[in-house]
Amino acid sequence: MRLKDKVCIVTGTSGYIGQAYAVRLGQEGAKVVLADIKPSKETEEAVHKTGAEWLSLTVDVTSEESTKEMARATVARFGRVDCLLNNAGIIRGPGMGARPIEEVDLDAFDRVLAVNIKGVFLCIRAVVPYMKQQGGGKIINISSGTWLHASRDRASNPHYVASKAAVAGLTRALCKELGQYNINVNSLAPGATPHDRRDQILAAGPDFEKEERALGRPCVPEDLTGTAVFLFSEDSDFITGQMILVNGGMETW
């Protein structure tokens, strides 16, 4: 177990990608905090089956008070917070499909940036005082490969792409500020990953990025979890400020 007794917060755990992260961390011996605006019983049960200690919290990542309470509750339960995985995110905002820039709803634009970048900022700000006090910690921010390569679909979703580029920028900025406190900040950038179970994804047929991937198959949530374990483990102690692409070998511009 590479993360035995590490206390790890994972945001956005109601979806299957967040669930996959949480389950893998539990399997690696971590104590897992499940943070989502709508907690998932399925995720709670899945993590419980790993034998890990866990805590489920209702958290709105766009609220400063909610994220501060997330950190306080974690420390109250487990005594510390070693790792934060900023996975919570949305693609287009409520009720919004793909749109050309002239038709992007401004409320949807604001909501995507509030969750995808402000939420990352607030969650980091909430845990940093505890990490400083205990002498270090590890932070992973989930970015995306969408800002490194474009397609017609991505070009019609500019607020999501911009938010994920901002996550990468925030990661670079904070690694400089927090490195002196032994806090590592990295980002993980997946290719397109359906929010479904592995067997459902592989049985669903062609993946729209399949032909672009060197490995020639869809990305499944479990493809992402090993990188998270590595970045939270002692093996990555001298790695910070980096963005790791987990995309099956897609070309980037």
Lowest mean pLDDT among 15-19, 41-45, 181-185, 214-218: 214-218
Query: Is there a contact between 57 and 126 (Cβ–Cβ < 8 Å)?
Result: no
| Domain-located, residue 251 | no
Catalytic-role residue among 16, 21, 130, 160: 160
Residue 136: inside a domain: yes
In a domain, 237, yes or no: yes
* Helical pair 16-27 and 41-49, crossing angle rounded to 10 deg: 20
2 located within any domain: no
The total of structural domains in the chain comes to 1
Span 142-199, pLDDT tens digits: 999 888 876 545 446 888 889 999 999 999 999 999 999 999 999 999 987 765 554 5
Task: Please indicate, yes or no, if residue 70 is contained in any of the structural domains.
Answer: yes
Between residues 108 and 26, the one the model is more confident about: 26
Question: Rounded to whole angstroms, how far apart are CA atoms 120 and 183?
Answer: 16
Residue 134 maps to a domain: yes
| Domain assignment of residue 133, yes or no | yes
Contacts of 178 (CB under 8 A, 6+ apart): 128, 131, 139, 185
Annotated active-site residue 130? The verdict is: no
**Secondary structure of residue 92 in the 3-state scheme:** coil
Under a CB-based contact definition with an 8 Å cutoff, are residues 250 and 209 in contact? yes
The chain-wide mean pLDDT, for the chain, equals 89
| 118 inside domain | yes
Q: Using one digit for the tens of pLDDT, what is the confidence trace for 75-90? A: 999 999 999 999 999 9
Closest alpha carbon to 231 in 86, 75, 108, 110: 86
Beta strands in 69-191 (DSSP E): 83-86, 137-142, 183-190
- Assign residue 76 the CATH number of its domain: 3.40.50.720
Which structural domain, as residue segments, surrounds residue 116? 7-246
Which residue would you say has higher pLDDT here, 160 or 32? 32
